[in-house]
Chains A and B, each alone.
Chain A
């Protein structure tokens, strides 16, 4: 896969799509996971005795937060390993569109899940007794927030399969 030749402008657009998909795809999850960790630290400082519990919830939230980025990664890889004989501009535009759809869809989902998970970490520090309920609600809310990222993933897959 490494070192593929970029022969035409049309071909270059595909690689551009891959770059955009993964580049913006990393922003949302990165910011979200950073926020989660930051507020987990806050929750721990407030209630040091539930620190283990909070770091568990933080890891769980970050694992859910990673998955939109994983979708972006898949699309980027699929774009990179596209066959070389793309010669029509509309097809290349569709592939670029797949990258753009995936990137921006991932951005929102990643930020949203990070927001949810970070609040979960803080408030377990406030009321450790309801940690189970908070974790479950966080997983559920994160899964629903991920829905739109999944829609853009499906749209990107459909765009990739156009001929």
Chain B
């Protein structure tokens, strides 16, 4: 994939060929996705979101090659990817607004007594639990879908003695669901970053 990118880069032309148009369309779609979610800052996150998508996508669909197993079928891979994406969101929040504002976020919505902002200590635990919920749901969504898809393929294939159905199962559960989940994962990473930095 890197080779492909370098090859196309070397042959960049004013009047693009077929391959260049294809790649430009893909990059352009991600660029406009980042920009419309994050505004002008969006382009900074384009390499991260793009490579996150490509990594998750390839990890999800690699199972259609016989003998290879999806890395995302092991719960550790999604958890690691989730940690990277949420760290990005939190660190960009700290960098953009400073540490004080970042901590203050956890005590929102604050109490207002005679116009003075006071931290709402009762809401802080709930906000922290909410963050943990984000982490759990993001990683287990990917893991559960890919793992479940793999289990369904194995069970149904052995029920029909590996005749007829398995290619279609791979097509739907491997390619289609894998692509959708990769998209969902990268869009979630992007949106959490946008929410954290807004």
Binding site for B on A (CB under 8 A): 59-60, 63-64, 66-67, 70-71, 73-74, 77, 133, 136, 139-140, 142-143, 146-147, 150-151, 153-154
Please classify how large the interface on chain B is, using the bins under 10, 10 to 19, 20 to 34, 35 or more: 20 to 34
Interface set of B (CB-CB < 8 Å, partner A): 33, 36, 133, 136-137, 140-141, 144-145, 147-149, 151-152, 155, 176-177, 180-181, 183-184, 187-188, 191
Shortest distance in angstroms between B66's beta carbon and chain A's nearest beta carbon? 22
Given contacts A60-B180, A140-B187, contact A150 B140 (CB under 8 A): yes
| A74 and B144 within 8 A (CB) | yes
Beta-carbon contact of B151 and A150 below 8 Å: no
Q: Is the CB of B187 within 8 A of A136?
A: yes
Cα distance A140–B177 in the bound complex, in angstroms: 15
> Complex Cα distance A73/B181, Å?
18
B149 nearest in chain A by CB position: A70
| Residues of A contacting B: mostly | helix
Q: Is the pair A70, B148 in contact by a Cβ cutoff of 8 Å?
A: yes
A140 in contact with B191 given A67-B145, A70-B149, A151-B133 (CB within 8 Å) = yes
Complex CA–CA separation, A18 to B136 (angstroms): 24
A residues less than 8 Å from B148 (CB atoms):
67, 70-71, 73-74
Report yes or no: A77 in contact with B151, Cβ–Cβ below 8 A: yes
Q: Which 10 A-B pairs have the closest CB atoms?
A: A70-B148, A147-B137, A150-B137, A63-B180, A67-B145, A74-B148, A150-B140, A143-B184, A71-B144, A139-B184
Min CB gap A101→B, angstroms: 14
- Known contacts A71-B148, A73-B148, A140-B187, A146 near B141 by CB under 8 Å: yes
Q: Which residues of A contact B147 (CB under 8 A)?
A: 74
Q: Is the CB of B155 within 8 A of A77?
A: yes
